[in-house]
Structure 1
């Protein structure tokens, strides 16, 4: 099986820059002109822009709201999780604001709501997919959810994110009406599907089965660098008639790329099987009530 090739760190930052530019273009060309509140801090920024139109000419720009909300969240996250937290995500958040400025001059692509949902969702999804593939996020509700989950461990990050995004989309319904809220939900669905496609169809989690002659070293690196547990399963090769240990590790969709790179760096001949996991209950994922 061919594993993902290792990238130099600066390439991840270039990918983040391209991804945030696509996301910003999707917002400025489609979502903002059509008042589509798709959740997240950018969705909240669209609401704030509308509400402040009578106070500030044109309303408060998205890039300003993005920074004002996200920077305190990052400072709080660093205080809670340590100084090493979220370096790339901080870069992605700041560069998203920069991208929102230089893509702000792009023309409005369409006044058709359906076309705006489809093409805006594709652009936003492609941008987010690139950002996620570089082991980063753009902050926002996923960062807020991570902070909240630190104090409410009985609720998963995914559940908190869903609640926060639902509140923002609901607020959009009261500001812009039910029709635009329904179109916004369609745009969110398209964005999510494109993100999955960008990440090779990755869903909530991935289960990796690894067969290698360097199992101890691979398991040690996965546990150290991804902070995920690894289980050794007893296996027997029917062709070779040899007993072999099979490593099993369940990771999030953003971590599977890194897991494959770790395995490749240690053993290029390792046999790796990656499977979709629809739901994971336990430590590090959905916690038991």
Structure 2
């Protein structure tokens, strides 16, 4: 029991460290590459940027205040379990957004020769000299990687994630559809700020696309699974060692067609990042073992992803729904 609690604690620590790293990357991408050129990204940080461009009210304050309201609603609707890491992310990202802006302003003051242009309204210098499109691409890529790390650790940046989750609970729409709709509304609204223009709007859409592409790439790579077939006379020792890493092992009966000898075959499904550890276990026990490794498109169930297929409504369910509405 104590060992399980220790492993759970270590996993939580790793999650929060990864979430913090992801939030730091997001803050750097947003502050260093988006804000100086007044490019609007998606999410609540993007909404805060729109308000900042229009009024000068700091992005981090808008982000924090709106998230507090959303979190109060989310706790009642979605429960505490959803909100714990989100609460941490909101406070951490609020701090990091403010800190990165102060660091960049300080650098612009101490080393003006490093930067070709400083935005007079925000005081933020441009990291990429005189190239708004390159700044848009780099900023979006860094943001996407950062958010991907947060999602891999079962975290959330709050904002539109909360809105989408609440609506998803009551309406038959996916989280991705709702988040995309919210982001499109936020970016389009930047057209009506004092610095708004069609080219800035297009840069905002490019940012949204690139961020989502990198987000999907990071999440898919992190969740990619592999399958092992292990043939060894020491299969019991190997199975016991792999099981100790909290990864399931299935034993199948097999037969070598040439020798006609009966063999035990181990089948292991694991995350791609766990492959090296499994190979080390096998090599340490039986260097002569025959091992086949292959990628799998998807693994669903305990320890992996959940099955997310909507059940089809029967005619009786539809009739019941109509009668309820009537």
For the criterion TM > 0.5, the same-fold answer is: yes
- Helix, strand or coil for the counterpart of 1:187? helix
Structure 1: distance between partners of 2:176 and 2:141: 22
Equivalent residue in structure 2 for 1:148, among 167, 174, 187 = 167
Cα RMSD over matched residues? 4.0
Deviation at 1:43, TM superposition (A): 0.9
User: Could you give the per-residue CA deviations for residues 213-245 of structure 1, whole angstroms, max 9, x where no partner exists?
Assistant: 99xxx9xx99xxxxxxxxxxxx98676988999
Q: Shift of residue 188 of structure 1?
A: 2.1
Q: Once the 2 structures are TM-superposed, how far is the Cα of residue 193 of structure 1 from its aligned partner?
A: 2.8
Kindly indicate whether structure 1 or structure 2 has the higher relative contact order, using CA contacts under 8 Å at least 6 residues apart.
Answer: 1
2:46 to 43, 47, 55: 43
Q: Which has the larger radius of gyration?
A: 2
Q: Structure 1: where are the runs of 5+ without partners?
A: 54-58, 223-234, 249-255, 278-282
User: Structure 1 residues 73 and 182 mapped into 2: Cα distance closer, same or farther (>3 Å)?
Assistant: same
Structure 2 stretches of 5 or more lacking a match? 1-6, 105-124, 231-235, 283-291, 299-305, 313-326
1:155–1:286: 8 Å Cα contact kept in structure 2? no
**Distance between the aligned counterparts of 1:97 and 1:257, measured in 2?**
33
Q: How far is 1:272 from its partner?
A: 8.5
Further displaced range: 92-101 or 64-73: 64-73
Q: Which residue of 1 aligns with 2:78?
A: 81
**CA distance in structure 1 between the aligned counterparts of 2:148 and 2:214, rounded to whole angstroms:** 7
- The TM-score with structure 1 as length reference comes to 0.68
Report what 1:173 is aligned to: 191
Q: Following TM superposition, by how much is the alpha carbon of 1:75 offset from its aligned partner in structure 2, in angstroms? A: 1.8
**Which of 52, 59, 69 in structure 1 is aligned with 2:66?**
69
- 1:199 aligned counterpart, secondary structure: helix
2:14 aligned with 1:11? yes
Q: C-alpha displacement at 1:46, in angstroms?
A: 0.8
Select 2:152's aligned residue among 133, 137, 144.
133
CA distance in 2, matches of 1:170, 1:276: 36
Residue correspondences, number: 248
1:185 aligns with 2:182: no
Equivalent-residue separation in structure 2 for 1:210 and 1:142 (angstroms): 36
